[in-house]
Structure 1
């Protein structure tokens, strides 16, 4: 009977989200910080994005930090040891949002804004979705500018293809958050950026002095090697 009780408890915590309104508030605070930086120091904000993506974070973490904070739905899993109780996934998610705030402050000197009394949010799906849309609205054009600079910097050899690949992956997640990119990596043998979402694969590679979205040969498209900057402009305009 005791064992049955333990199993029922494990099953319950394994399917129940543990996020609270504190995470939603951390996303809102980061959004306000990003918005202030975009107004007061837009070039500085571009530097912030560049610094973050060239750090030691995994692509999955970068996605939640910058592109899809509303998709963070951490749960308990039975694979974790007891020590996991003192290091909840929600704390990690909040820490990632605070890392964005710290990166903005370090570059721009703009302090982290406070939330007003009427800006405290519950962590429900509708609230997080709205906050995620706001994040993507603030950062999509900034990230496009960072991508343009990275491509200019990398021409013609594109030794920074990994950086470019991460930026393209983030932009795709911003444009298509419901089918966001899960993996962004460079195939060193073919020198190709490979992006993988839950419903598709996308390849980008250096081609004739620019980064091209590589289409399957024989596919009836107007341009089998479309410049990724033209593709991104179409996404957000």
Structure 2
């Protein structure tokens, strides 16, 4: 099967103790507060906008890092070098988190979160902070996918619909199963399939007879996507 997707150069990154600095953990916390203040319904709107924006949020790794995997620092290896502005690695990590929070606050005219700046941000557990985010973004992603599945049947999705669903599936899988988070998404335009990869295994999805399903490499149906939304 020939895969047609986005070529993403590999960036060598040494994940050292420096990337766990207090400034990054603080920013994850600040963005979390904005996400929680927005609530599920408004968060769904922001996520849909980010998935649909072509110019600034068309890289899956970037979306995944902001929405579902802020603790998976190596995910920046999946982001093209061309997307990086001249800044340090830790500053880039912080920048992506700031963008997520800024998108929410701008859309709903929210003020900056009121947090205790005297706390020891370096002692915050990054995995816990990330799971706090997934506990909110996961249900939002599930609701978005369910709405797409409820849309009028498009037997063969066009390129935009295929790309959107592929991105949503990858984000949802990362939020639901963070230990095997998705690193890449690819689309096969000739077969109208979506492939999501976690670095070890891949899952293939296609719309068969108007229903999104997971298939194997031979095209045999394995499970409906609807049944995977736990």
Q: TM-score range by the shorter chain?
A: 0.7 to 0.9
Question: Which residue of structure 2 lines up, in the alignment, with residue 210 of structure 1?
Answer: 211
Q: Please state if 1:33 is matched with 2:34.
A: yes
Tell me if 1:190 matches 2:191. yes
Which 5+ residue runs of structure 1 have no aligned equivalent? 1-12
* Cα distance between partner residues in 1 of 2:129 and 2:192: 36
The equivalent residue for 2:145 is 147
Q: Deviations over 1:171-194 (max 9, x none)?
A: 111122122111112110110001
Q: Do the aligned residues in 1 keep the contact of 2:65 with 2:75 (CA within 8 Å)?
A: no
Q: Is the 8 A contact 1:17 1:74 kept in 2?
A: no
Q: Which has the higher helix share?
A: 1
Structure 1 match to 2:130: 132
1:8-19 equivalences in 2 (<5 Å): 14=14, 16-19=16-19
Q: 2:228 aligns with which of 204, 228, 231?
A: 231
State how far apart, in whole Å, the 2-side matches of 1:179 and 1:139 are.
17
CA distance in 2, matches of 1:72, 1:154: 38
Q: Does 1:96 align with 2:101?
A: no
**Which stretch shows the higher mean deviation, 133-142 or 109-118?**
109-118
Measured at CA, do residues 106 and 229 of structure 1 come closer, stay the same or move farther in structure 2, by a change above 3 Å? farther
- 2:169 is aligned to 168
Unmatched segments (≥5 aa) in structure 2: 1-12
Assess if the C-alpha contact under 8 Å between 2:75 and 2:183 holds in 1.
no
Larger Rg: 1
How many residues end up aligned between the 2 structures? Answer: 205
RMSD (Å), alpha carbons: 2.7
Whole-Å separation in 1 of the counterparts to 2:152 and 2:120: 43
Q: Is the 8 A contact 2:204 2:217 kept in 1?
A: no
Instruction: Please give the per-residue CA displacement for 1:24-50, whole angstroms capped at 9, x wherever unaligned.
Output: 111111111111111xxx332111001
Q: Deviations over 1:136-181 (max 9, x none)?
A: 1111000111112233347314221111110100111112212211
Distance 1:153 1:198 in 2: 31
SS in 2 for 1:190: coil
How far is the alpha carbon of 1:102 from its aligned partner?
A: 1.5
Task: Give, in angstroms, the shift of residue 21 of structure 1.
Answer: 0.7
Quick one: structure 1 residues 112 and 228, their matched pair in 2 at CA, closer, same or farther if it must change by over 3 Å? farther
**How far apart, in 2, do the equivalents of 1:172 and 1:186 lie?**
16
Using the size of structure 2 for normalisation, the TM-score is 0.79
Higher relative contact order (CA 8 A, sep 6+): 2
